[in-house]
Structure 1
Amino acid sequence: MRTFVLFCSVLTIINAEIIDLSSSDNVIWTFVSKNGSMKGPATVPGGVYSDLQKAGIIGDILNRDNDVLTRWVAFDTWTYTAKFQVSIDDLASRVVHLVFDGLDTTAFIVLNDHSPIGAVNNMFVKYVFDIKNKLKAGENVLNVTFLSPIMAAQIRSSRAFAAPACVPPGYNGECHVNQLRKMQASFAWDWGPAFPSVGIWKPVYIEKYDGAVIRWVTTHTKRVGVDWSLTVQAHIETSKKVTKIDGVLSIALQVEGKQMLKKWKQVNVETKADGTVVEEIELLISGNMIRLWWPNGYGEPTLYDLHVHYTTASKKEESRKDIKIGFRTVEIVESPASEKLGNTTAGKGLTFYFKVNGYPLFMKGSNWIPSNILPELGESDKATIDNLLTAAYDVNMAMLRVWGGGVYESDYFYEKCDQLGILIWQDFMFACSMYPVDPPFLNVVTQEIEQNVLRLQHHPSIAVWAGNNENEVALRGNWYGTSKDFKKYEAEYIKLYVDTIRPIVETLDPERRYLVSSPSNGIESEREGYIASNPYDPHYGDTHYYNYFADNWNMNTYPKTRFASEYGFQSLPSIRTLKTATSNPDDLKLNSKFSEHRQHSPNGYSYIENQLTGHMKLDVNDFKYFEKFVFYSQISQAMALKTETEVYRQGQADWYTMGALYWQLNDVWQAPSWSGIEYGGRWKMLHYFAKTFFAPVLVSPRQLVSDDIDVYLLNDRFVPIIDAVITVDIYNWTSLTPINTKQFPGDADALSAKLQDIDMNYWDYKKEQIFLKFSLDAPGVKSSPNNYVFPVPLKSIVGLIKPNITITVANIVMRRKEKLEYTVNIEVDTIVLFLWLETGIKGNFIDNAFIVTEPTITAKFVCSKYVAPRDLQSSIEIQYYVN
């Protein structure tokens, strides 16, 4: 059990003098293939696929099967060349460094025809090279030559093989990505294509100074009674050798009432051999001077400005970091479950929950994959990051898990999470593989972990570090045929995640919990030697659960868990999104080569079809079969995730389940996947449903095997619900008027799920003719979504008819901050299931996928640019389910 407070960076600028070597007026970048046949102007930061597209050498990489047709790019050697000018004055500084914030991935760097000034092999680290004696006045030439990542992976694997050799054939990917410290998904995954990119994916610059610079700032806090102790550590760097530094380190913290707390210290020390030193200042802060930082849905994510300065003794140079800090405590509580659940089956084992600012909070959220398959675009596209994170915020998410097969995200990403109050479960970048542990590999991993913990440690959004994604369960479950060499792989697993990574994390960030793997049994896995006999034991830790064979609309399908950190089901993206990847109408068929190429999950379409046809009628001879298959797949996914998520939220009552992070939030291309948001930003039905199943207050019914109905009241607020009224309307499918209405008293403690004392059955009715609607009215509860029970599969219901639907858009347009809001009025004459509104106009509906039980409802559409209401009205297309 550990308590800590973390901080968030707003600006990370070193106030040394900078010569920007990214694309600018001062530098000319070009790229060329090994034989010189392909070349062109380059963009830095950037990558070879992006540059080849801009040069017209290749087309849209996400069109049809261009992921395979452009694979030759990843087999070539590419050289990036910069020509730039420096003056004699630029050479006068005592320290002159060439800094690459990110190089993807294996490359050699040459400046002015000198022997290579450096070789790199990790895209996740910052590289700093001393070029004081290699730079010259006038024109300079910088060459960065990238080796083929496919070939580099093969060469390393021949020396230090680690299972598995390759991704499954259906991924259309490449082999041995686990040999490279590179985005693991760049060689393909079951949700994405292979684009083994190379390039200078982050900024590059020359920094020059005479004194020293602050490279990183870490912060450590602890409660002192009602006050806070803040320790600020400045990680100062100078030349690449032992150097004495002399100056003043100062901090200034702006707190409530615009008060400024300041403190300084004299620095006169000798650095370590690599030219670095860590200096710290401690500040005591009165508790009434700050407000706490809270996750989304539980309070405001309050941030404060912190300024850290280092000034040389001569006062001629200053280095500074300006960051925003958030005060909060977080601990993962792994204590005897019997303390919560008594001496029952559920009370065996340990709890696993996040306690924030002293409160046990249920973590609602999803899993984040890279926002673009090309890392340079994921890094730089702030609009996409804004849209995705705001979408998570809008549907009540409090946590995202940054998955271990992608990248450590940009500073901007974490800053945005800090501002929105979205906690981050941060995996280190190891996923679904065994990994080598030869000394060169461990050396680059050590640098990677050190740098990224130092870079990210101060963000209030980061809640926990996890060593890897699914590697404990992969080893125990023999996913890659490792059982015959189990002892070897077990020892290597421990050497990497326990002996190498854990000490770094616990030294640099001792207040934050390090989990060796996800999923795992947490402390219990550690007790069992780090590879538990059953890493999916529901009495411990977190679990990943996927089951494509059971009825996933049935709440009785799902096992218990303390914390669900991954679970999900596939659906197809909308026809509109698919059409951005192909203009050939013949591709839009389930059995087309295009569709088969885009489905990377083995038997994926069969699993979708089995879930879909288990509940809905769909005729393969329907001339709109594919269109309906796409739409019904989204219904099926949304209903399955709704069902499973509510099971986990209900489980807070009887198993102390305390988290539900479904797989996955976003997509990297136009293909079937587990995402709730399509590539391009269009919301699937799942994401709209998340707004309901993650609602702070929700009546959540469960139909039992006996056909009785248990009713839970879910309350994620800090105040109890008392004197509530739960209304149950029983509808016949033929009418908008309930055939029976029953009301029951309801209550729930703060931050709880409670099974209500309700004797609920509908045995007087034929199940195929009715459904039930649940609603809540409670003092102090402004809103709570309706919820539903469909007693039988939809394909078996009787009475649902084709509706008449009228859509009108009101003429009055409201301005909401930077958006325009339109009111869409909907009139129906019968029950409508999953009424879906869609338009080609850029914008989005605030709610969608309606279960319509009233003659009139309204929807809101928001967009940035004005469109005439009549044009919006004529553009709206509708879909719905009907047998």
Structure 2
Amino acid sequence: MCLKLFLIVLLCNKINGLQVLDNIEWTVRNANGSISIPAKVPGGIYSDLETAGVIGDILYRFNDVLTRWVAYDTWTYQGSFTVGDELNHEVANLVLHGVDTVAYVEVNDSPVGSTDNMFVRYVFDVKPHLKKGANTIKVVFASPIEVANLRSEKYFTAPNCVPKDYNGECHANQLRKMQASFAWDWGPAFPSVGFWKPVAIEFYDRAIIRSVTTHTQKAGQFWYLTIKAYLEANPMNDRWTGLIRADLAVEGPQNISLTKSVDAIIKNDGSTEAELNLTISENVVEIWWPNGYGKQPLYDLRISISNEHGEEHFKKIQVGFRTIELVEEDAAKKFGNSSAGKGLTFYFKVNGYPIFMKGSNWIPGHILPEKGYDREIVDGVLDAAVDAHMGMLRVWGGGVYESDYFYQRCDQLGLLIWQDFLFACSMYPVDSEFLDSVGTEIEQNVKRLQHHPSIAVWAGNNENEAALRGNWYSTQTEFKRYKKEYIKLYVDTIKLIVQELDPARRYLVSSPTNGLQSEAEGYIAENPYDPHFGDTHYYNYIQDNWDMNIYPRTRFASEYGFQSLPSLLTMESATKEKADFSLESDYSKHRQHSPFGYDFIWMQMKMHLKLEKNNATDSEQDEYDYFKKFVFYSQINQAMAIKAETEFYRQSQEDWYTMGALYWQINDVWQAPSWSSMDYQRRWKVLHYFAVNFFAPVLVSPCLLPSGDIDVYLINDRFVPIDNGLIKVDFYNWTSLTPISSKTFNASVGPLSAKKQDIKLSVWDINKEEIFLKFSFKAEGVESSPYNFVFPKPLKSIKGLKKPNIKISVSRVSSAVGNYVYNVDIQVDTIVLFLWLETPPILHSYFQENGLIITTPYYRTTYSSTVDVSVKELNEMITYQYYYED
């Protein structure tokens, strides 16, 4: 199909004093011209083809493979625009803020440049090629698969390919492209091409501000703020002369201003920089804190440049005042000679206080990068992180540098960011072309992100130190080669750039890593997982993961997790075929990318939950019913396992041994089994509801020991101690809602710490199949603390649990437009395990609590929705399920 290309009159916008032409009409066609359709920028080829109806929903059934032809074709984007008097400016630059990935650029049929890095902003001088009136841009995108294969033939770097289960493509490590776009164990392959960020033509005469970095330092009663403005200047001039001004809005409201004359040399690449230093009294700014520890005040900073010709350009950012330090010091000095005293500490100190980092890992918001920047996706996941008391997210190294909006929201919400650079699970080439491109990428993105108070630490890569030392990709015979290349990339290239641009923040060469100890061992430690140093990634699908005693200690758990399946409601958006809802279906096997994934889920489940496998003679309905239960039980298992591991890490805060727990992962990119706590449609799994509790600021956390004794910890993430708390332990029989006995204990704990209480509890001498323990905590000044439980025996072995009678009634609480809240009252006649409430899809609706363990005849939770639903309708909508096996 062919569509006529219309020329339109463009308006040249003035943005921050800069004239920008960005209203460009785009089309895209394939190599043989059989497809020619309108295109959207920002966007990408899969989005454009889907919008035009050439392909269907890319996430439906097997479409990730059926649309793979798209990535093998050559696609040409053509843009039409009109230029007027703005061409009278001395500089006209075509700015491609994000090009995915290998492309060749022409303006009015004249070559102006090429691109090879998705994470780089490209600026091309197009002044000689523009004309007043109609103009065209043509950008030819090469197949990323073909380019990766060609580069691999020349610069082969392990591994050879992703596992077969991924249904992916090979040699993603050869391209500076989102590594997950060639497939991962939690996501499909969509090797996209296109402009995933805006395209514009900028017109000016002398110079503009491209980036601003800020460095804050506290000394005495003052904050010292160093501001660096990075300018792009007219390369025809040798110097840029003018004024730079900073305006900082502080409390009061007041404005702190400083103007400085600048006479700077313009480098060969047209760049220059200017610096300002502000001194700010601590009385006029408030301290920025992570979520849960205080407020997140942000202050508007406007940086402007002007010259004698009347030209002005400015940039606005927000800054926060806080100190952050990653403390790696001799543990023996901190802890003495106990087991905790070996090695080095590894914890974050924020504003002078040691903070246990609670959080998760962030993968791309969408498998198509342009859609991952969608603000609704960003807000949905970040708000859920805050709801679960998280204070840190790790932006994982196989994705993208997130949008400005993402980091702004993290600043506003108090979510610290562990920022990986975008290298993951591979060795990488170090040819000069690759390294030059990486150098530009790191410089641009550090300059873009550095000013955000949410950025806590930089990390060079995801798991590549461990992969090289552990011979994951059969590199042992070439270990010296790969170690040399590893150092050349992450140390000699990336580290030098980061330390120059952001010397105050810690740069970790890898994650996991032993930190300073890895560096002392030549950057590849003998054991990158040494629990006495740095951070660890830990996965164990064989042992009983509900048992806290199986987990090894670590200084900082930056990755750990277990798989589950997403909600059936979410999966129904990917297939309408009922036969697909079977573990044995081709569809289910296709969606499970983790080798032996379903087997591992089954192995873990059967340790605690009773769920008989299907028979070969089962009907399609039987298969569906079994699959539905498997989905639910997989989420129970995931939630209980991560609860156990997370509480183990939080308990280990007692002696400062462990000071961080970031589970893998918070979000999803499609409707498939994964490690996420929220599925693709941002429905909370059981895990995310559990995270609200196991990350609670004040938590009573029991640990059942192999001996049958129970250690009880009180965890306090507040700045004030708890001196006169009461821990209540109720002993229940599975047959009754009335406790058979109760005990109360005095409890105390210091600020920002965990403490094992002097409590003697044991279940070794009672019938463990018939009882369980419920823990609750109260103290003056503690608004709430969640219940906790100990199940002495696996639930598959318990005796006395009865099938409940459940009655649910709904009443309206409030009905403000866009925020409708209802009470959901639950009446039961026996113990109910993991009561899971659900409604059909309603926009932005959720239960406040879910996956409930109910031990009282009446229980109330709430339901919130942005849509007004009648009480009668909601009452009829709510469905439920729970754990019960005869």
Task: State TM-score, norm by structure 2.
Answer: 0.96
Secondary structure of the residue aligned to 1:767 is coil
Matching residue of 2:250: 255
Kept after mapping to 2: 8 A contact 1:820/1:863: yes
User: What's the CA shift for 1:764?
Assistant: 4.8
Structure 2 residue 315 is the aligned partner of structure 1 residue 343:
no
Matching residue of 1:110: 106
Deviates more, 1:547-556 or 1:341-350: 341-350
Q: Could you tell me which of 872, 875, 878 is aligned with 1:876?
A: 878
Matching residue of 2:825: 825
Across the aligned residues of Structure 1 and Structure 2, the Cα RMSD in angstroms comes to 1.1
Q: Could you tell me which of 163, 168, 174 is aligned with 1:168?
A: 163
Structure 2 residue 263 is the aligned partner of structure 1 residue 268:
yes
Matching residue of 1:299: 294
- Identity rate, percent: 61
Kept after mapping to 1: 8 A contact 2:812/2:821: no
- Mapped partners of 2:761, 2:106: distance in 1: 75
Structure 2 residue 336 is the aligned partner of structure 1 residue 334:
no
User: What's the CA shift for 1:336?
Assistant: 1.2
User: What's the CA shift for 1:122?
Assistant: 0.2
Give the partner amino acid of 1:181.
R
Q: Could you tell me which of 209, 218, 228 is aligned with 1:214?
A: 209
Matching residue of 1:729: 730
Secondary structure of the residue aligned to 1:758 is coil
> Are the structure 2 counterparts of residues 858 and 366 from structure 1 closer, same or farther at C-alpha, using a change threshold of 3 Å?
same
Kept after mapping to 2: 8 A contact 1:702/1:710: yes
User: What's the CA shift for 1:267?
Assistant: 1.6
Superposition map of 1:148-227 within 5 A: 148-227=143-222
User: What's the CA shift for 1:814?
Assistant: 4.5
Matching residue of 1:6: none
Matching residue of 2:48: 51
Matching residue of 1:568: 561
Secondary structure of the residue aligned to 2:804 is coil
Matching residue of 1:372: 366
> Are the structure 2 counterparts of residues 778 and 881 from structure 1 closer, same or farther at C-alpha, using a change threshold of 3 Å?
same
Secondary structure of the residue aligned to 1:614 is helix
Matching residue of 1:495: 488
User: What's the CA shift for 1:671?
Assistant: 0.2
Secondary structure of the residue aligned to 1:257 is coil
Kept after mapping to 2: 8 A contact 1:94/1:208: yes
- Mapped partners of 1:496, 1:811: distance in 2: 59
Superposition map of 1:54-69 within 5 A: 54-69=51-66
Matching residue of 1:29: 26
Matching residue of 1:99: 95
Cα deviation code 1:220-276 (max 9, x no counterpart): 121121211111111111124553222210001111111111100012233111121
Kept after mapping to 1: 8 A contact 2:831/2:854: yes
Cα deviation code 1:471-522 (max 9, x no counterpart): 0000000000000000000000000000000000000001100000000000
Kept after mapping to 2: 8 A contact 1:14/1:214: no
User: What's the CA shift for 1:711?
Assistant: 0.3
User: What's the CA shift for 1:615?
Assistant: 0.5
- Mapped partners of 2:214, 2:632: distance in 1: 49
Superposition map of 1:9-28 within 5 A: 14-21=16-23, 27-28=24-25
Kept after mapping to 1: 8 A contact 2:239/2:266: yes
Structure 2 residue 143 is the aligned partner of structure 1 residue 141:
no
Matching residue of 2:866: 864
Kept after mapping to 2: 8 A contact 1:241/1:272: no
Give the partner amino acid of 2:89.
S
Secondary structure of the residue aligned to 2:711 is strand
- Mapped partners of 2:359, 2:60: distance in 1: 31
- Mapped partners of 1:342, 1:64: distance in 2: 58
Give the partner amino acid of 1:693.
F
Kept after mapping to 2: 8 A contact 1:13/1:321: no
- Mapped partners of 1:259, 1:66: distance in 2: 57
Kept after mapping to 2: 8 A contact 1:229/1:285: yes
- Mapped partners of 2:736, 2:148: distance in 1: 63
Structure 2 residue 292 is the aligned partner of structure 1 residue 290:
no
Kept after mapping to 2: 8 A contact 1:301/1:418: yes
Matching residue of 1:440: 433
- Mapped partners of 1:592, 1:456: distance in 2: 45
Secondary structure of the residue aligned to 2:127 is coil
Superposition map of 1:462-861 within 5 A: 462-621=455-614, 623=622, 624-654=625-655, 656-815=657-816, 818-840=818-840, 841-842=842-843, 843-861=845-863
User: What's the CA shift for 1:523?
Assistant: 0.2
Secondary structure of the residue aligned to 2:262 is strand
> Are the structure 2 counterparts of residues 507 and 14 from structure 1 closer, same or farther at C-alpha, using a change threshold of 3 Å?
farther
Kept after mapping to 2: 8 A contact 1:340/1:656: no
Secondary structure of the residue aligned to 1:142 is strand
Matching residue of 1:5: none
Kept after mapping to 2: 8 A contact 1:303/1:324: yes
Matching residue of 2:3: none
> Are the structure 2 counterparts of residues 512 and 812 from structure 1 closer, same or farther at C-alpha, using a change threshold of 3 Å?
closer
Kept after mapping to 2: 8 A contact 1:670/1:679: yes
User: What's the CA shift for 1:340?
Assistant: 2.9
- Mapped partners of 1:195, 1:276: distance in 2: 36
> Are the structure 2 counterparts of residues 241 and 182 from structure 1 closer, same or farther at C-alpha, using a change threshold of 3 Å?
farther
User: What's the CA shift for 1:737?
Assistant: 0.5
Give the partner amino acid of 1:880.
Y
Secondary structure of the residue aligned to 1:230 is strand
Kept after mapping to 2: 8 A contact 1:397/1:422: yes
- Mapped partners of 2:128, 2:320: distance in 1: 43
Cα deviation code 1:384-422 (max 9, x no counterpart): 100110000111000000000000000000000000000
Structure 2 residue 357 is the aligned partner of structure 1 residue 360:
no
Structure 2 residue 81 is the aligned partner of structure 1 residue 84:
yes
Cα deviation code 1:784-820 (max 9, x no counterpart): 00000000000000000110000000144344x8521
Structure 2 residue 412 is the aligned partner of structure 1 residue 419:
yes
Matching residue of 2:443: 450
Give the partner amino acid of 1:303.
L
Cα deviation code 1:179-232 (max 9, x no counterpart): 000000000000000000000110001110112101100011211212111111
- Mapped partners of 2:486, 2:684: distance in 1: 39
Mind listing any 5+ residue stretches in structure 1 that lack a counterpart? Answer: 1-11, 22-26
- Mapped partners of 2:236, 2:279: distance in 1: 35
> Are the structure 2 counterparts of residues 287 and 811 from structure 1 closer, same or farther at C-alpha, using a change threshold of 3 Å?
closer
- Mapped partners of 1:229, 1:435: distance in 2: 40
Cα deviation code 1:434-489 (max 9, x no counterpart): 00001000000000000000000000000000000000000000000000000000
Secondary structure of the residue aligned to 1:133 is helix
Aligned residues: 862
Give the partner amino acid of 1:341.
F
Matching residue of 1:72: 69
- Mapped partners of 2:764, 2:268: distance in 1: 79
- Mapped partners of 1:323, 1:224: distance in 2: 24
Cα deviation code 1:853-883 (max 9, x no counterpart): 0110111111112110110110000010012
Kept after mapping to 1: 8 A contact 2:833/2:854: yes
Give the partner amino acid of 1:73.
V
Secondary structure of the residue aligned to 1:753 is strand
Kept after mapping to 1: 8 A contact 2:264/2:274: no
Secondary structure of the residue aligned to 1:144 is strand
